[in-house]
Amino acid sequence: MQKIPTKYIFVTGGVASSLGKGIIAASLGKLLMARGFNVTIQKLDPYINIDPGTMNPYEHGECYVTSDGAETDLDLGHYERFLGNSTSQANNVTTGSIYQTVINKERKGDYLGKTVQIIPHITDEIKRRIKLLGDTNKFDFVITEIGGTVGDIESLPYIEAVRQLKWELEKSTLFIHLTLVPFLSAAGELKTKPTQHSVKTLLESGIQPDILVCRTEHKLNEHIKRKIALFCNVEKEAVIESLDAETIYEVPLLMQKENLDKVVLRKLKIKDETEVNLDKWKDFLFKLNNPKKSITIALVGKYIKLKDSYKSIVESFIHAGTEKNCEVKIKWISAEDLIEGKTINDQLANIHGLLVAPGFGDRGIEGKIQAIKYVRENDIPFLGICLGMQCAVIEFARNVLDMKDANSTEMNKKTDFPVIDIMHNQKEITNKGGTMRLGSYSCQLTKDSNAFKAYNTNSINERHRHRYEFNNSYLNKFEEGGMLATGNNKENNLVEIIEISSHKWFVGVQFHPEYSSTVLKPSPLFSSFIDACINNNK
Ligand code: GLN
Q: Note the pLDDT tens digit of each residue in 53-66.
A: 999 888 889 999 99
Mean pLDDT, the chain, as a whole number? Answer: 95
The reported pLDDT for the residue numbered 340 is: 59
The reported pLDDT for the residue numbered 201 is: 96
Q: What's the average model confidence in pLDDT over 248-265?
A: 98
Q: How far is the CA of 355 from the centre of ligand 1 (A)?
A: 15
In DSSP terms, 483 is beta-bridged to 500
Q: How far is the CA of 336 from the centre of ligand 1 (A)?
A: 17
Amino acid making up residue 67 = S
Which residue, 532, 487, 508, 533, is CA-closest to 395? Answer: 508
Please confirm whether the linkage preceding 52 is cis (ω < 30° from 0).
no
**509 pLDDT exceeds 90?**
yes
Angle between helical axes of 156-169 and 123-135 (0-180°, round to 10)? 50
Minimum-distance ligand 1 atom for the alpha carbon of 436: 4
Q: Note the pLDDT tens digit of each residue in 168-223.
A: 998 999 999 999 999 999 989 999 999 999 999 999 999 999 999 999 999 999 99
Which residue, 345, 386, 340, is CA-closest to 367? Answer: 340
Q: How far is the CA of 138 from the centre of ligand 1 (A)?
A: 34
* CA-proximal residue: ligand 1, atom 1 (nearest): 360
Residue 435 phi, psi dihedral angles, 5° rounding: -110, 5
Alpha helices in 306-410 (DSSP H): 311-323, 337-340, 344-348, 365-377, 387-399
| Mutation probe of ligand 1 site: the residue of 466, 470, 511 with most atoms within 8 A of C-beta | 466
pLDDT band (50, 70, 90) for residue 49: very high
Q: What's the average model confidence in pLDDT over 485-499?
A: 96
The reported pLDDT for the residue numbered 342 is: 63
Do the Cβ atoms of 254 and 245 come closer than 8 Å? yes
Rounded to whole angstroms, the maximal C-alpha distance in the chain is 75
The 10 Å Cβ neighbour count of residue 342 is 12
Q: What is the pTM of this model?
A: 0.95
**537 pLDDT exceeds 90?**
no
Which residue, 267, 251, 70, is CA-closest to 166? Answer: 267
Q: What's the average model confidence in pLDDT over 5-34?
A: 95
Which residue, 357, 398, 385, 362, is CA-closest to 483? Answer: 398
Do the Cβ atoms of 526 and 319 come closer than 8 Å? yes
Q: What's the average model confidence in pLDDT over 122-151?
A: 96
β-strand pairing of 494-500 with 506-509: antiparallel
Q: How far is the CA of 484 from the centre of ligand 1 (A)?
A: 20
| Mutation probe of ligand 1 site: the residue of 355, 386, 391, 407 with most atoms within 8 A of C-beta | 386
In DSSP terms, 297 is beta-bridged to 330, 353
Q: How far is the CA of 30 from the centre of ligand 1 (A)?
A: 33
| Mutation probe of ligand 1 site: the residue of 65, 362, 387 with most atoms within 8 A of C-beta | 387
Q: How far is CA 20 from the centre of its chain?
A: 14
CA distances from 344 to 329, 396, 536 (A): 19, 17, 19
pLDDT band (50, 70, 90) for residue 365: very high
**281 pLDDT exceeds 80?**
yes
pLDDT band (50, 70, 90) for residue 341: low
Q: What's the average model confidence in pLDDT over 80-92?
A: 96
The reported pLDDT for the residue numbered 404 is: 93
pLDDT band (50, 70, 90) for residue 431: confident
The reported pLDDT for the residue numbered 1 is: 60
Minimum-distance ligand 1 atom for the alpha carbon of 361: 1
* CA-proximal residue: ligand 1, atom 8 (nearest): 358
**Catalytic residue positions, numbered:** 386, 512, 514
Q: What's the average model confidence in pLDDT over 152-163?
A: 96
